[in-house]
Amino acid sequence: MKMEAIDKSKLLRHTPNEIKERSALTINPAKTCQPIGAMYAALGIRGCLPHSHGSQGCCAYHRSALTRHYKEPVMAATSSFTEGSSVFGGQANLLQAIDNIFTIYNPDLIAVHTTCLSETIGDDIPQIVNKAAAEGKIPKGKRVIHTNTPSYVGSHVTGFANMVKSMVDYFSTSTGKRKQQINIIPGWVEPSDMEEIKRLTGLMGIKSVMFPDTSKVLNGPLNGKFIMFPDGGVTVEELESTGDSIGTIAMGLWASEAAAKALDTKCKVPYAILDLPIGLKATDRFIDAMRIMTGVSVPEAIEIERGQMLDIITDMHQYFYNKRVGLVGDPDQLIALSEFLVSIDMWPVYVVTGTPGKAFEKRIMEITAGSPYEVKVKAAGDMFLFHQWIKEEPVDLLIGNTYLKYISRDEDIPLIRHGFPILDRVGHSYFPTVGYKGGIRLLEKILTAILDREDRDSEITNFELVM
């Protein structure tokens, strides 16, 4: 142990200031593995039990992680691989699992995702599912869908995107008759965000199918019962009808593009890929895309919400000036957040995602092109590197998941929790950050963080009552 470097008051006392090139090591990851994303997406289908085809440990971890984030029961089954399955393949396990799941838990459908283990063994899921059907293990009217989620590729976001694409592959059908509805692929956002997006389409008077939809599944009420399949989520019929929609709005390149493209290829439904509607401009683009796609006009109620958000921005703009912000999270979220921050004169200076993809780095550099500061951005990065950047030159504000709290404490920088996972606060399940209303909440959070800090740090003589 390098004793001279240890400062006992610091939690991350083992993070050296000096940055060394690391070739093989990830420290304090800014991502996790694919299956958890697939599990989260699958929970957004009504009556669906996600199923992890691998050993039981992965499934236990994924459920625990989602449970900690949502403080809700998270249900998923596992193939419970043993040594035998690792040698002979997991077919027997999956067949038995399908049989057992429909007997005991009786979901409407099972959404199978793979794990590193079953991927490497090379199990052919569709073939096994066909066999299950042939053997009569899938009751009439029930479905089994699947997606491949090898965790050594991409990240949890990739797994989410894969499962959403599978929804299209398995369900979307074109009957040849267009329906007056649009598809919305919300990307990896919170149940509260999905609710807010639905509220906005409702205000616009547009009929939409959103998939996945985890609202009311992972932010359900307490009603004295344990309900395995809550009354939330997109239904199979709705998913089938996506092939007849007039268009698709896909939010976030990383989480939603695959599904939108597949739907276009399969059913000729044109799509628009937008950033997540976080912040004024991105929400404007979302509302505009809906308007153009359907030809409706924007109602006054939405104009008012927009005006309210703008009002807060101008009222308080003096507190935003040139603030330096460090962000860690998922690509789609970071892109939208960065654009929002820049638009109010706050500057993302360090931006890290664990998800690989050079396009991310390029996009962030474009968004921050006019920055007065040097901007550092990294895809496939980790929080260790992010911390070292901060040690070189600090920031005024951190935005990211709960794991940033160590850095926040050690470096005494306020943290706004955003993204996945949030293990130590509530609110994300209920209050959206998308749309104008969500923008208002984000602004409130940013301002509270900044102003609390000013209050705490100001001299007695300068302590302000009115801010």
Partner 1 sequence: MEAINILEERKKSIFEKGKENHELSCDKVSLAGSVSQRACVFCGSRVVLYPIADAIHLVHGPIGCAAYTWDIRGALSSGPELHRLSFSTDLSETDIIYGGEKKLEAALDELIDEYKPKAAFVYSTCIVGIIGDDVESVCKKVSQKKGIPVIPVHSEGFKGTKKDGYKAACHALFKLTDREPAQGISKCSINILGEFNIGGEAWIIKDYYKRIGVEVVSVMTGDGRVDEIGRSHGAALNVVQCSGSMTYLAKLMEEKYGIPYIRVSYFGIEDMSAALYDVAAFFKDNLKIMDKTKTLVREEINKIYPALLEMRKDLTGKKAALYVGGTFKAFSLIKALRHLGMDVVLVGTQTGSPEDYKLLKELCDEGTIILDDANPLELSKYIIEKGADLFIGGVKERPIAYKLGLGFCDHNHERKIPLAGYSGMLNFAKEVYDTVMSPVWKLTPRMEKNGR
The residues in 136-175 that bind ligand SF4, with binding defined as CB under 6 A, are: 151
Which of helix, strand or coil describes residue 382?
strand
Q: Toward partner 1, which CB reaches closer, 140 or 456?
A: 140
Q: Toward ligand SF4, which CB reaches closer, 115 or 433?
A: 115
Minimum distance between the CB of residue 166 and partner 1, rounded to whole angstroms? 20
Residue 22 contact among ligand SF4, partner 1, none, beta carbon within 5 to 8 Å by kind = partner 1
Minimum distance between the CB of residue 56 and partner 1, rounded to whole angstroms? 5
Q: Toward ligand SF4, which CB reaches closer, 94 or 395?
A: 94
Q: Which of 157, 97, 90 is nearest to 117 (CA)?
A: 90
Say how far apart CA 127 and CA 169 lie, in whole Å.
16
Greatest CA separation for the chain: 80
Q: Which of 312, 360, 365 is nearest to 342 (CA)?
A: 365
Residues numbered 249-288 forming contacts with ligand SF4, rule: CB under 6 A: none
Q: Toward partner 1, which CB reaches closer, 71 or 453?
A: 71
Say how far apart CA 57 and CA 80 lie, in whole Å.
8
76 sits near ligand SF4 (criterion: CB under 6 A): no
Choose, by CB under 6 A, the member of 41, 58, 97, 236 that binds ligand SF4: 58
Q: Toward ligand SF4, which CB reaches closer, 219 or 401?
A: 401
Phi, psi (5° rounding) for residue 438? -65, -35
Minimum distance between the CB of residue 36 and partner 1, rounded to whole angstroms? 7
Contact 141, 13 (CB under 8 A): no
Question: What strand order describes the sheet that includes 109-114?
Answer: 77-78, 48-53, 109-114, 143-147
Say how far apart CA 24 and CA 289 lie, in whole Å.
43
Q: Which of 375, 428, 376, 377 is nearest to 402 (CA)?
A: 428
Say how far apart CA 199 and CA 193 lie, in whole Å.
10
Here's the x/- map for ligand SF4, 361-390, by CB under 6 A: it reads as ------------------------------
Residue 465 contact among partner 1, ligand SF4, none, beta carbon within 5 to 8 Å by kind = none
Q: Toward partner 1, which CB reaches closer, 15 or 183?
A: 15
Residue 308 contact among partner 1, ligand SF4, none, beta carbon within 5 to 8 Å by kind = none
Q: Which residues contact 308 (CB under 8 A, 6 or more apart)?
A: 436, 440
Phi, psi (5° rounding) for residue 415? -125, 130
Minimum distance between the CB of residue 275 and partner 1, rounded to whole angstroms? 26
First-residue to last-residue Cα distance in the chain: 48
Q: Which of 234, 191, 247 is nearest to 216 (CA)?
A: 191
Q: Toward partner 1, which CB reaches closer, 69 or 445?
A: 69
Which of 111-119, 162-170, 219-227, 285-293 is the region at the interface with ligand SF4 (rule: CB under 6 A)?
111-119
Give the chain's length: 467
Residue 192 contact among ligand SF4, partner 1, none, beta carbon within 5 to 8 Å by kind = none
Q: Toward partner 1, which CB reaches closer, 75 or 210?
A: 75
Q: Measured at CB, which residue is nearest to ligand SF4?
A: 57
Choose, by CB under 6 A, the member of 57, 73, 220, 356 that binds ligand SF4: 57
Q: Which residues contact 367 (CB under 8 A, 6 or more apart)?
A: 335, 338, 339, 342, 348
298: its two tokens? 């924007």
DSSP state of 45: B
219 sits near ligand SF4 (criterion: CB under 6 A): no
Q: Toward ligand SF4, which CB reaches closer, 142 or 156?
A: 156
Minimum distance between the CB of residue 33 and ligand SF4, rounded to whole angstroms? 3
Residue 68 contact among partner 1, ligand SF4, none, beta carbon within 5 to 8 Å by kind = partner 1
355 sits near ligand SF4 (criterion: CB under 6 A): no
Residues numbered 20-49 forming contacts with ligand SF4, rule: CB under 6 A: 33, 35
Contact 79, 92 (CB under 8 A): no
Say how far apart CA 253 and CA 249 lie, in whole Å.
11
Interface residues with ligand SF4 (CB under 6 A)? 33, 35, 55, 57-58, 61, 115-117, 151
